[in-house]
Structure 1
Amino acid sequence: MPTAKCGGCAKFLSPIDAAKCNQCGGLYHRACVCLPTTGFIKSTWRCPECEKNRVRDNKADTPVRTRTALVEEHMSSEELMDTSTCTAAAEDTPIKFSPDFTIELRLFKEELRKEFHRLHQEFLQLRTEMAEIKDTLKASDQRMDNLEARVGSLELKLEQKVQPDRDGLDDVIGELRCQLNDRDQELLLNDIEVSGIPECRDESALHLVKVLGTKLGVSFDERDVVHAERVGSTRRNHVLSTSSISADPAAQRPRSIVMGVQVGNQTK
């Protein structure tokens, strides 16, 4: 029955097949210290702990060679497989954690899971918003294209209508000018100018016109006369002289009387 533990894997072992250190007296599985499973072990053998603490002589000309390589030279493939099996068994030893550490690890995993879930939801929301922005931009581009097409169509129609409308406006302006000229001529036809009637102070042009009409045999009412007045500049201190002749005939000629009458009520 095993009564000692291996200094490498801390498992119980039989002292008969164990490798004993010559310095510290520790027992080891042969597989744990990379020794052949069968064969003689030198009495001067030392464990890895004692071997690493041994004082070196610093011989620079000695090639470096690991103990594992030395052992593997003398071991068969079956022995190497057995050694790896033991090492794997040692590595598969379950590690026991304290309850507090287990609870803390479980809480950390739960918090990490919640954080990943939150990030996943935010990522999905971000993808949804990006898709909405993309659709909005696409709709805006479509509206801009439609607006540009409508503006281009309106500009084309305007260019097509500008020239005909301009010609029509020129015709209308010419017609209006003709009408204004005709109206001016009609207004001039309603004015009667009488010249050669002597001018005196405080005279009534309307009375002179009525007397002149009576002399000419034309009767009309005062309501038919729009206006009656002398035209030209007023000559102040005008005295008729029969003994002297003025050098300016226009200065001796009286001003003309202009009378405007209504065409509808005019009689001749």
Structure 2
Amino acid sequence: MVNCGACGKFLSPTGAAACSVCPTKYHRACLAIAEKTQISKDWVCPNCKRHMRRGRQQPDAGSRGWCGPALAASESAGVSEFRREFTDCISEMREFRKELGLLREAFAAFTVRLDGVERRLEALERGQPEGDPARVTELEQSVLALKRELNERDQDALLSDLEIGQLPERKGESVLHSVLVLAGQLGVPLEERDVVFAERVGVRPAEAAGRPRRVVVRLASRRLRDDMLAAARVRRAGLAAAAGVRVFINERLTRHNRHLFSPRPRECRRLQWRYTWTKRGRIFARRGDGEPVYQFRVEDDLVRAFGPETVDRRAAV
């Protein structure tokens, strides 16, 4: 049904005054146009005329009466922007897959080297019961260095990952939806295409005294991961109030780094160290302002920083 642009009442298209710029139609009587007067195809309605720019034959694109080319240009700009974002997303995913492929090749090469060193060490121990202490020590150091390097490579593969703890778990939930809601509460708008995967890992709540399993998330870019971590630090109190529990969002660590990380906050509190943090999967601590920074790669680093009783406690546990 067509309504008059002036009075708003029903309008028959036959004999109506139609604007050549916008789709609005008018009663002839509302515009004081005689019934026998022929209306030009280039006729412009009063509303569009008011918004015409001086010296131009078309109304201002931002005016109320401009309904044709402006709308088409806006839709075209939106489609172009979407295509550009989609192309950027595809490029990022291709780069991520290429980088992941290179990491896998490096892991395979390190595994071969590690196996070779271990075989040589075992053969040396079998062939020489007493063994050459210097040679054995050298091989052991080589094995430790390779394991440390392999762990660092593993950690580099997790630079786009997050680990979320204490996120309430419900039967039949969509973990992806829970992560998107959590990101919205943090003020970081995520879309489904920004999440490579999101899943729960660990022991189910029924077997873990009701504690929810932790959530591991891989995002499409490291920038999004860093935005989530920064927002979690800033809005920690508001996040706890919204979720009803204290939700933890941290970098995802390898198993070896988690093993090193587990005693660190407890020992720092015991010894009154002020600063502990992780950066790109590396573990750091500092006693206070102006004090040296300790990086923890192996258990010897824990002993060097906190003393031998730290390792003794871990063994007792």
Interval containing the TM-score (normalised by the shorter chain): under 0.3
* Structure with a larger share of its residues in strand: 2
Kindly name which structure, 1 or 2, has the bigger radius of gyration based on alpha carbons: 1
TM-score when normalising by structure 1: 0.27
Give the TM-score taking structure 2 as reference length.
Answer: 0.24
